[in-house]
Amino acid sequence: MIIETISYVCTRCQSANIYKNGHNQSGNAQFRCKDCGRSSVLKPKIKYTEEQKELIMNTYLERGSLRGMQ
């Protein structure tokens, strides 16, 4: 039997002293660091490319909607 262990660290202070702290609205598990107090998601679902970020910012500055971009 093979057991694989994954250890996570805080995204701010790189401490391994973290604990599970519920879920956010998207359903991702949130974790809180006992050392620095940061609460964050270890694996966020939404990732945008640089082109998508630029398009979103340009649309925002023109006061358009995200739905209107598609």
User: What is the DSSP secondary structure assignment for residue 40, as one 8-state letter?
Assistant: E
Q: Look at residues 16, 15, 14, 64 and name the one whose alpha carbon lies nearest to residue 6.
A: 16
User: pTM for the full model?
Assistant: 0.54
Per-domain boundaries in the chain: 18-69
Strand bridging mode 29-33 / 18-23: antiparallel
pLDDT, tens digit (0-9, with 9 covering 90-100), for 5-55: 888 888 889 999 999 999 988 888 899 999 999 998 887 777 788 898 898
